[in-house]
Amino acid sequence: MAINKEGFKDYFSTQSDIYKAYRPSYPKGLFTYLSSIVENRQLAWDVATGNGQAAIGLSPHFEHIYATDASANQVNKASTVSNIEYKIEKAEDCSLPDQSVDLITVAQAIHWFDFEAFYSRARKAIKPQGILAIWCYGLIRFENEALDQLIADFYHRIVGDYWPQERAHVDAKYKTIPFPVKEISDIPHFEIRLAYSRGALINYLSTWSGVKNYINTNGLNPLTKLDAQIAQLDMKEFKAFFPVHIRIGQFE
């Protein structure tokens, strides 16, 4: 990790290609639901968009998507869609006009923010009846019990001490994130489901900031041993799922 000249914690810029290829996409039903609870669908602001996973999911439902990220490398790798406008901007310093946004989304990113500064900016940007939605996905899980236990052990025991402190918010299902809005409680359950090859799984795990910190600290890659352990399971496909933890509300 580096604190770059713009002053944000940057774990992902150097891995933008792998991040784009192997990070999971969000379920379509999540974006259908979000679009159903807003009054208007003119403008959505996707904050810390990365390479645009959430922005792309929102694009069929809104006239225009304003997708921002502090990392130029991530934005430059984003998929082009006609109604998505990408901008290199910090979450706390977005240039959108006041009271212009119908929906603000933050996917797998708000735990990196300056909470007070971001919420102050979001409160100004959003329309009076606009919706703020933040979410994260938890630790990857597997239908195969042996693999599930192997990855859980790797997550907690091998790289557990190398996760940035902000990761604790994800482990807590975002319940520890300050959320100064009138919160909606009756939210449908969403989860991400997909299947990996062994190589794709290892590439996904390589995007973990805990893995990157382990390598930088110890000079060796813990995924080498893990890959050999997974190979012993003799599986061709790894069916996986990620629970999605979401919080939604309106500023009062």
Residue 163 has pLDDT above 80, yes or no: yes
Q: What is the mean pLDDT of residues 171-178?
A: 98
State the pLDDT at residue 3: 36
Higher-pLDDT residue of 154, 8: 154
Residue 214 · residue 11 · CB < 8 Å: no
pLDDT in tens, 86-118: 999 999 999 999 999 999 999 999 999 999 999
- CA 129-132-136 angle, 5° bins: 160
State the pLDDT at residue 11: 47
Pair of tokens at residue 95: 């240039």
By CB neighbour count within 10 A (0-12 exposed, 13-18 middle, 19+ buried), where does 36 fall? exposed
Residue 19 has pLDDT above 70, yes or no: no
Tracing tokens 């998505």 back to the chain, one arrives at 84
Residue 15 has pLDDT above 60, yes or no: no
Q: What is the mean pLDDT of residues 149-177?
A: 97
Neighbours of 12 (CB within 10 A): 23
State the pLDDT at residue 22: 83
- Coil, helix or strand at residue 104: strand
Residue 101 · residue 17 · CB < 8 Å: no
Range of weakest confidence among 15-19, 30-34, 151-155:
15-19
> With the CA atoms of 138, 160, 151 and 24 taken in that order, what torsion angle do they form, in degrees rounded to the nearest 10?
40
State the pLDDT at residue 4: 41
Residue 40 has pLDDT above 70, yes or no: yes
- The string of DSSP letters for 181-232 reads SEEE-----EEEEEEE-HHHHHHHHTT-HHHHHHHHHHSS-THHHHHHHHHT
Tracing tokens 């990365």 back to the chain, one arrives at 50
Domains of the chain, residue spans = 2-141+164-191+243-250
pTM: 0.90
Neighbours of 83 (CB within 10 A): 13
Residue 100 · residue 125 · CB < 8 Å: yes
State the pLDDT at residue 23: 85
- Taking the C-alpha atoms of residue 43 and residue 22, their distance in angstroms, rounded to an integer, is 28
pLDDT above 70 coverage of the chain, percent: 93
Residue 36 · residue 95 · CB < 8 Å: no
CATH topology of domain 2-141+164-191+243-250: Rossmann fold (3.40.50)
Residue 7 has pLDDT above 80, yes or no: no
Residue 81 has pLDDT above 60, yes or no: yes
Largest alpha-carbon pair distance within the chain? 56
Q: How confident is the model at residue 20 (pLDDT cuts 50, 70, 90)?
A: confident
pLDDT in tens, 58-79: 999 999 999 999 999 889 989 8
Which residue type does 211 have?
V
Residue 134 has pLDDT above 80, yes or no: yes
